Copies of this chain bind each other. A is one copy, B any other.
């Protein structure tokens, strides 16, 4: 499966009969032109024969680069992230970088420790998927790009999905089915997706002339199934009647299913629900979930590309890259009873 002793630049140099620095030049594409084609060819050959493999550690010590980028997310176990990470890793690997992922579990202290550790590891860049709106970034050491979430202050580059577009499509769909009293189970307002989707909900409802009373929205403290259940249960008990609910993400939507079941209500018979993210397997739920699909893999890939760019051009401008969202209609939505 693997084999062979450690072979260094010098070994290759010795075999060809040149100096180690010459070998280095040949193997480094940017300096390769400095050396005669003939020698270059012989070096390549010797390197291949000997099974030479550059030592990234030595390279890193010399160049102060680790060829490594850190990815910080709340929890790998949240199905939203694996596809994004695949997108990141696939594109970063192609560029010669290794990705290191760490989980914060939504714990500020843990996040601090992780960032410390990443810094200790000398990552060349950071992709952050765990930021809160009020966070402020320090890009003094390494470039940073935000993924999925953004922050309130400007001067960052972030890759996010189209929240207004997605929520807009969801409401259009529900309205065309005949719904008017559409509630919103909102995400935590201290993360950008929470507030963005909430605001998109308000503005779209108003555009369509649909009622948007405070009583029609409930805020969750985290993106979890439990919170979704808790908040929708509140509606069911004491709030104004509703015929449909838009959850700020799929986990929350699943919690809504739980609440409905607990209350003896049927979905979509009594109440329609739509989610956000289209995470894996929601098409197999009972009922299959109507939700807003975001290009998870592409978001990761775009973030990786942005990070590569920023590493090459630290002075480059900031940008918010917005990827499209599209509603996927399944069986959790139907006309109101």
Contacts and interface: CB of A to CB of B under 8 A. Distances in A.
Interface of A: 1-4, 53-58, 60-61, 66, 75-77, 79, 82-83, 85-86, 89, 93, 98-103, 115-117, 119-122, 135-138, 140-142, 144, 254, 257, 280-281, 284-288
A53 B119 contact: yes
Contact of A115 (B2, B119, B121): B2
Given A58-B61, A61-B57, A138 B2 contact: yes
18 contacts: A1-B135, A2-B119, A2-B140, A53-B120, A56-B121, A57-B60, A57-B61, A57-B66, A79-B79, A79-B280, A98-B100, A99-B100, A101-B101, A254-B281, A281-B281, A284-B285, A284-B286, A285-B286
B103 A89 contact: yes
Contacts of A2: 115-116, 119, 138, 140-142
Contacts of A76: 82, 85-86
A103 B90 CA distance: 9
A105 to B, nearest CB: 9
A70 B249 CA distance: 33
A3 B58 contact: no
In the A-B complex, list the 6 residue pairs whose CB atoms are closest, starting with the nearest: A286-B286, A1-B138, A57-B60, A76-B82, A77-B82, A57-B61
A144 B2 CA distance: 11
A138 B2 CA distance: 6
B136 A1 contact: yes
Contacts of A93: 102, 117
A85 B55 CA distance: 27
Nearest to A99: B100
Contacts of A287: 286
Given A1-B135, A77-B86, A98-B121, 15 more contacts: A1-B137, A2-B115, A2-B116, A2-B141, A3-B138, A53-B120, A55-B61, A56-B120, A56-B122, A79-B79, A79-B280, A93-B117, A285-B285, A286-B286, A286-B287
